[in-house]
Amino acid sequence: MMDILLGGSYRQKGEKDKALEYFQKALAIAKIVDNKRLIARLNNSLGNLNFDGKELEKAMEYYTSALNILNELGSERGIAVAYGNMGNIHGHNDDNKSSLEYHQKALDTYKKLEDHPGIGWVLSNMGVIYRNIGNLAKAEISYKKSYDILKSTGNKKNMAFPLANLAGIETVKGKYNEAISYYQDYFDIQSDIGHQKRLSHGNYYLGSTLVKNGDLNNALPYLDKAIDIQTELGLKDELVESEIYRALCLKKLNEEFEMDRVIELVDSTELSYDSLIRQMLNWIKRLMNWNRNSGRNINPIQSQKP
């Protein structure tokens, strides 16, 4: 159906509202003709769309509807997809035990079906949970297995995710050059695909890691581009992070920036990682000896490492 193709195309570009419109049109038609397999597929697609938009309750409702239909149809691959998606929801809700249980169910089914792209996808998601619980060794093993499997299948879109996650592991280790190499590969894939939201992530990943590595002049263009895309798409959480790193970069380059605007942006955005962002912001303010009345740097001091 054309509506499904259009919905998928708009999701790929990060245009949620248009994707939602076409998926809902397709779902209405599928229900009229009582095509259960298509109804399940579209429930899954709508779940993915809401997951992208961090509307986790709605996403779980769609995934649960899909799973119920797929159980009725006996579609093992579809069931595995639903298990994996539900595992992601539990992970985002910090229910790591349930998340791993759902991912293991998905992994067992994919192995039974010898579905290598599915195996690679689930291993990448399991790596995220292992990292969340602090088991970096298991996380790294999962990411590397995922990347190798997905690379062997030629699945460019999905192999980008373990690359970004491996970069995150290297960042935690303080190995910024290795992280930048992984992030560059992620960025190149997203540039080829043209997914704007993930391209903004690629720009942010490279920019922020280059700042950590002290390569400020190369960092700034990536952060500027990330901010442009995030502003256009209304990605406030991501925008806060990019603006903070841009402010830090400009401060270290002894260039002026609008501190008032950055503070207002942080204050107006509710973040799950709010404390870390505010620690960075407070550090920049101390560096600047910032005064809210002027929003300017009074008595500039030499930049120092945090």
Mean pLDDT of the chain: 83
pLDDT tens-digit map of 5-53: 555 565 656 666 777 777 888 888 888 898 999 899 899 889 988 887 7
* CB-CB contact of 40 with 69 (8 Å): yes
pLDDT tens-digit map of 133-162: 999 999 999 999 999 999 999 888 889 999
Residues 181, 231, single domain; the answer is no
* Type of residue at 60: M
Residues 144, 266, single domain; the answer is no
Residues 163, 228, single domain; the answer is no
Residues 155, 71, single domain; the answer is yes
Residues 261, 290, single domain; the answer is yes
Residue 153: C-alpha distances to residues 113, 198, 275 (Å):
15, 21, 40
Backbone dihedral angles phi then psi of residue 295, each to the nearest 5 degrees: 65, 20
Residues 17, 166, single domain; the answer is yes
End position of a domain, from candidates 203, 222, 251: 203
Predicted confidence band at 293 (pLDDT cuts at 50, 70, 90)? very low
CATH number at residue 19: 1.25.40.10
Can you state the angle between helices 216-233 and 236-252, rounded to 10 degrees?
150
Predicted confidence band at 290 (pLDDT cuts at 50, 70, 90)? very low
Hey, is 291 helix, strand or coil?
strand
Q: pTM to 2 decimals?
A: 0.75
How many whole angstroms from its chain centre is CA 227? 16
Which of 263 and 13 is assigned the larger pLDDT?
263
Beta strands per DSSP E along the chain: none
| Residue 251: predicted pLDDT | 84
Q: Which residue has the tokens 């407070």?
A: 282
Residue numbers of the domain that contains 124:
2-203
Structural domain count of the chain: 2
Residues 243, 260, single domain; the answer is yes
Angle at 5 between CA 237 and CA 55, to 5 degrees: 30
End position of a domain, from candidates 156, 181, 203: 203
End position of a domain, from candidates 169, 203, 237: 203
Residues 281, 199, single domain; the answer is no
pLDDT at residue 278 greater than cutoff 60: no
| Residue 90: predicted pLDDT | 94
